């Protein structure tokens, strides 16, 4: 049996894990390594990629920066989350606001230390990234369209760090990036529809509040159709192996999403649509291994 003090410490641990969204960070770490192995550094062996210390430092710097970003975002959104996500918010509030700020600055310092192992340019890159996350959380998040676009860009920025490191400028990489950017943009707009109650109460100028739910749904439909463009090129113009099945599945799910979004009205319905997009993102990460399964076995050996 755990003592009362031990239970309190355990709850605080889960609270901090909830604030930094550790599960999201784990997915991003896996995505960075799989992207490096199969797309960005496909000419290297798996051993060379996995045991590359510079890559490890970039991944660690990304993870710590993202964690600090979630903390500062949680700090500014504490009142809104109390309305939109009351249960999660109560867990997050076990960690005081001052403690969150301390963790935020410590994590940013650690991120710079990790980046400094790679190069001065990496330090500059992550310093700008840290500032951009803060500026988004403090100012841009409350602005329609600009906030959505900025959020999507910040989400894929860790992949740009690895992209710049390997200096791989193949067209297929930009096609993957465009597909991911469009899906992330859809997710951000769907989240705005899901959280409209809290945003309205705290005067956030999101797209659904400024332009209305109907316009938001039209925008989501257009974004859904636009994803067909990079998906088409990835399936028919590039050699992505069995990963093409992922894009076929994604297009089917996006058709379902487009039909459902027209009828969605409640928070639960928007949450389901949000989860469809999250599933596409996570499935996309793990489907990277389908690019060449035989190559995986050969490169391990």
Q: How many domains does one find in the chain?
A: 2
Residue 2 lies in a domain: no
Tell me if 232 is assigned to some domain: yes
Helices (H), 85-145: 86-92, 97-118, 120-138
Query: Under a CB-based contact definition with an 8 Å cutoff, are residues 126 and 61 in contact?
Result: yes
Spell out the alpha helix ranges (H) of the chain: 4-20, 22-35, 46-50, 53-76, 78-84, 86-92, 97-118, 120-138, 146-166, 171-194, 196-201, 207-211, 213-226, 228-236, 244-263, 267-286, 293-300
pLDDT, mean of residues 180-196: 94
Q: What is the mean pLDDT of residues 227-232?
A: 94
Domain C-terminal end among 169, 195, 214? 169
Query: For residue 150, what pLDDT is reported?
Result: 94
Question: Taking the complete model, does pTM exceed 0.85, yes or no?
Answer: yes
Tens-digit pLDDT profile for residues 83-103: 777 666 665 666 777 888 888
Pick the more confident residue, 81 or 179.
179
Please write the tens of the pLDDT for every residue from 259-273: 999 999 998 999 999
Q: Which of 153, 169, 185 is the last residue of a domain?
A: 169
CA–CA gap between residue 59 and residue 161 (Å, rounded): 9
pLDDT at residue 43 tops 90 = no
What is the structure's pLDDT at 83? 72
Question: pLDDT band at 122, cuts 50/70/90?
Answer: very high
Give the per-residue pLDDT at 14. Answer: 66
- Say whether both 248 and 266 belong to one domain: yes
Q: Which pLDDT band holds residue 1 (cuts at 50, 70, 90)?
A: low
Work out the mean pLDDT of the chain and round it to a whole number: 87
pLDDT exceeds 50 at position 301: no
Lowest mean pLDDT among 9-23, 109-123, 180-194: 9-23
Task: Determine the average pLDDT of the residues in 151-178.
Answer: 91
How many Å apart are CA 253 and CA 251, to the nearest integer? 5
**Domain identity same for 95 and 194:** no
How does residue 288 score in pLDDT terms, banded at 50, 70 and 90? Answer: very high
Same domain, 35 and 82: yes
7 pLDDT above the threshold of 80: no
Is the alpha carbon torsion for 107, 113, 119, 120 positive or negative? positive
pLDDT value at residue 293: 60
- 76 falls within a domain: yes
Least confident range of 14-23, 122-131, 141-150, 271-280: 14-23
Asked if residue 26 belongs to a domain, the reply is yes
Neighbours of 14 (CB within 10 A): 14
Q: Establish if 129 belongs to a structural domain.
A: yes
Domain range for 262: 171-301
Last residue of a domain, one of 110, 135, 169: 169
The contacts found for 123-128 with CB under 8 angstroms, 24 or more apart, are: 125/161, 125/164, 126/61, 126/62, 126/65, 126/161
């Amino acid at each position: 049996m755990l003592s009362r003090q031990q239970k309190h410490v355990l709850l605080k641990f889960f609270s901090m894990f909830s604030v930094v969204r550790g599960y999201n960070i784990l997915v991003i770490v896996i995505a960075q390594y799989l992207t490096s192995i199969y797309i960005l550094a496909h000419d290297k062996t798996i051993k060379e990629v996995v045991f590359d210390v510079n890559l490890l430092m970039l991944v660690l710097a990304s993870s710590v920066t993202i964690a600090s970003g979630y903390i500062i975002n949680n700090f500014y959104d504490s009142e809104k989350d109390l309305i939109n996500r009351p249960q999660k918010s109560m867990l997050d509030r076990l960690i005081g606001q001052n403690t969150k700020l301390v963790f935020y600055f410590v994590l940013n310092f650690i991120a710079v230390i990790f980046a400094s192992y790679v190069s001065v340019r990496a330090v500059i890159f992550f310093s700008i990234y840290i500032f951009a996350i803060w500026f988004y959380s403090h100012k841009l998040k409350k602005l329609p369209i600009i906030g959505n676009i900025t959020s999507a860009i910040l989400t894929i920025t860790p992949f740009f760090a690895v992209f710049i490191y390997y200096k791989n400028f193949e067209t297929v990489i930009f096609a993957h990036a465009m597909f991911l950017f469009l899906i992330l943009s859809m997710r951000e707009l769907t989240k705005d529809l899901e959280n409209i109650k809290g945003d309205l109460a705290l005067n956030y100028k999101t797209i659904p509040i400024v332009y209305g739910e109907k316009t938001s749904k039209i925008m989501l439909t257009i974004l859904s159709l636009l994803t067909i463009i990079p998906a088409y090129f990835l399936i028919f113009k590039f050699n992505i192996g069995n990963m093409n099945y992922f894009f076929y599945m994604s297009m089917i799910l996006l058709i379902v999403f487009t039909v459902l979004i027209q009828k969605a009205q409640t928070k639960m319905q928007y949450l389901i649509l949000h989860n469809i997009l999250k599933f596409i993102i996570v499935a996309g990460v793990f489907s990277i291994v389908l690019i060449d399964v035989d190559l995986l076995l050969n490169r391990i050996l």
